[in-house]
Structures are given as C-alpha cells and as structure tokens.
Amino acid sequence: MCKTNVNNSRVMLQGGIVEIAEIVRPVRDVRHRAHSIEAVQFTWAPGTRTPKHRHYSRGVVKIQEGCLFEVKDGVKTYYMAGDTLLEVPNESIHIVGNDTNTLARSFHIYWPELAMDELPDDDADTAALAIPPPPELL
C-alpha cells in the first residue's frame, strides 16, 4: 500500500500578517503489517517533514539514503545514511524532516503498529527548524 503526500495547514502570525504554512509530509509506503509489527519505507523529498508528534509504539529507524534532521527539545540534529535511531514510547516527541536539496529514504519498524499523536510546534521548535543545514549537506 502506498500513500501520497498529505498537506496540513497551520496559521502563523508574523508582524500582524496572517501567513499559511503547509507541512508537506513524506510518502509513506507500508511494506509489512502483521502480528502487531509494521514496517514502513518513507521517501522524503526536499522540504518534507512530519508534524511534531509523540510515539506510543517502539520504533527503529534506519536512514537508507540522504540525510534527515530531527528536532527534539528545540535541538536540531542531522542523521546520515547508515545511521539508526530508536523511538521510545512516550519519550520520542520530535519532528523529522529533510531540509537538504536531495532525496532521502528511511526504513521504520514499529511494534506494536505505529501509534502516535500530533502536537503543535512550540517556539523552540520553530527556532530550530529555521536553522539551515550545514553547507556540506546541501
């Protein structure tokens, strides 16, 4: 099963001007779902990201291609192809995305199947998201 990008809009106030910002999500391709395990391939075009979210499932993420960032507690960290991340239930509140100019791919395994809720970005998230990637990642 393959799902296409889904856009969510949020309203930002900037100097009294209302601006609509869209979150363009990565393409999510479920590769396996059975016995309370879900395996998903994500394709991250440049400029895609997740909303801020909290996981209720355990997860292992392998960056397969390109580079992804994670914003957690207002800190932006970059992960390269070959890196692995762990997602701990109720502790992994983060934003993940691709702010480089190249495609990225990641493979995720969740158990039980992915369960999460979305949260609004806070000021620390917004500040971290505004930091451009290092030139060597572009």
What digits encode the pLDDT tens for the residues 109-129? 999 998 889 999 999 999 999
Does residue 9 lie within any of the structural domains?
no
Domain count for the chain: 1
What's the pLDDT at 22?
74
Preceding peptide of 135 cis, ω within 30°: no
Does residue 122 lie within any of the structural domains? yes
Q: What is the pLDDT of residues 14-51, one digit of tens each?
A: 444 434 457 899 999 999 999 999 999 999 999 999 99
CA 93 to each of CA 13, 22, 33, 51, 117: distance values in angstroms, whole numbers, following the listed order: 24, 20, 23, 10, 9
Q: Residue 6 falls within a domain, yes or no?
A: no
Query: Is 89 within a domain?
Result: yes
Domain that holds residue 73: 25-132
Predicted pLDDT of residue 125 = 96
Using one digit for the tens of pLDDT, what is the confidence trace for 88-103? 998 879 999 999 999 9
**Residue 87: which CATH number?**
2.60.120.10
Q: Is 18 part of any domain?
A: no
